[in-house]
Amino acid sequence: MKLMTFRLNDAIAAGYLDGDAVVVCAQGAGADRAVLDLITEGAAGLARWAAMDGPRVALDAVTVLAPMPVPLRDVFCVGKNYYAHAAEFYSSGFDSSAKEEVPSAPVIFTKATTSVVGPGVDVLGSLDHTHSVDYEGELGVVIGKRAFQVSKAEAMDHVFGYVIVNDVTSRELQRTHNQWVIGKGIDTFCPMGPHIATADELGDVTRAELTTHINGELRQKALVSDLIFDIPTLIETMTRTMTLLPGDVIATGTPVGVGIGFKPPKYLQPGDLMEVSITGLGRLENRIA
């Protein structure tokens, strides 16, 4: 099932994608939390939505929002998790937080919930006074069951599904503050969507391909199987000391091809169009404003 939140007739609604239409399963008060609530319910919630005989509305008749417009809490993110990007970032002069080119353990940081926006929403590059806005197309993993001290062998049982994330970043702020929260947590700097696909819908996630285009130019292309630390390792590492909750999102890292990998860097400018696509997850488009 592909879960969506959207605006319909000036009201927020939620449902699932069925071909070129969406089936409306919630509308009005509380609809902005409907997908998050469904994830918490798990299989029972999915069965309930599947059994609903809700209205069918053409996809092009709605305004698609982030699947979880207000996430449960900050988005968890993984830095330098593709080999070529790790080398690219290490040699760029912007990696002030690390002494090794390829991390020996996952690098984890967060993006504020207020950074999350949906497809088609402008990313406010104007909020970055350093004018060093960069893109990072990523696979987001959505947790479906409370997870604490989960082994790699059990990790995938705790995955509800997947979503596209664009980890937009101010490179100068990232470097200046010697950590990544300020440079990556700027309002609107976490586009997400257009839908969450359940794990069974996507199948073998390691075979999924990620691409990022800027103004139609291919910049990033990689398979999820190229991750340095795979999804089970990330979940095992994080839950060794902390609890992941249903609805938590883990952005798994970006491949080579970001703006700072060019000489000179290709920072995003007002009007630039970012398009991130992942097999089975659709396309996430946002412009810089």
Q: Reduce the secondary structure of 244-257 to three states and give it as a string.
A: ECCCCEEECCCCCC
Last residue of a domain, one of 64, 92, 107: 64
> Is residue 10 located within the same domain as residue 110?
no
- CATH at residue 179: 3.90.850.10
Question: Are 53 and 84 within one domain?
Answer: no
Domain count, the chain: 2
Q: For residue 237, is it within any domain?
A: yes
Nearest to 137 by CA among 180, 190, 203, 96: 190
| 196 falls within a domain | yes
pLDDT tens, position by position, 20-37: 999 999 999 999 999 999
Whether 272 is in a domain gets the answer: yes
Q: Examine the domain organization and report whether 79 and 33 are in the same domain.
A: no
Find out whether 132 and 182 touch, Cβ atoms under 8 Å: no
Domain assignment present for residue 54? The answer is yes
Same-domain check for residues 180 and 260: yes
70 lies in some domain: no
The answer on 137 and 218 residing in a single domain is: yes
235/258 same-domain check: yes
Backbone angles phi, psi at 134, to 5 degrees: -130, 160
Within this chain, do residues 130 and 42 fall inside the same structural domain, yes or no?
no
Domain stop point among 64, 84, 109: 64
Q: Are residues 81 and 57 in the same domain?
A: no
Residue 69, in any domain of the structure: no
Please give the Cα distance from 80 to 86 (Å, whole number). 5
Structural domain that includes position 29: 2-64
Distance CA 119, CA 286 (A): 6
Q: Which residue has the tokens 């990790």?
A: 155
Tens of pLDDT along the chain (289 residues) come to 999 999 999 999 999 999 999 999 999 999 999 999 999 999 999 999 999 989 999 999 999 999 999 999 999 999 889 876 766 666 666 666 566 778 889 999 999 999 999 999 999 999 999 999 999 999 999 999 999 999 999 999 999 999 999 999 999 998 888 778 999 999 999 999 999 999 999 999 999 999 999 999 999 999 999 999 999 999 999 999 999 999 999 999 999 999 999 999 999 999 999 999 999 999 999 999 9
* Same domain assignment for residues 176 and 94: yes
Which of 21, 37, 64 is the endpoint of a domain? 64
Q: Are 123 and 273 in contact (CB under 8 A)?
A: no
Verify that 189 and 106 share a domain, yes or no: yes
Looking at the fold, whether 138 and 55 belong to one and the same domain comes out as no
Examine residue 104 and state whether it is found in any structural domain, yes or no.
Answer: yes
> Is residue 185 in a domain?
yes
**What is the number of other CB atoms lying within 10 angstroms of the CB of residue 108?**
15
Reference 285, options 163, 123, 133, 150; nearest CA is 123
- Summarize pLDDT for 36-80 with one digit per residue, the tens: 999 999 999 999 999 998 999 999 999 999 999 999 999 999 988
- Read off the DSSP letter of residue 70: S
Token couple for 72: 């449960």
Looking at the fold, whether 157 and 81 belong to one and the same domain comes out as yes
Query: Where in the chain does DSSP place strands (E)?
Result: 2-8, 11-18, 21-27, 56-58, 63-64, 75-79, 107-111, 116-117, 133-134, 137-143, 159-166, 169-170, 190-191, 196-198, 209-214, 217-223, 249-251, 273-278, 282-287
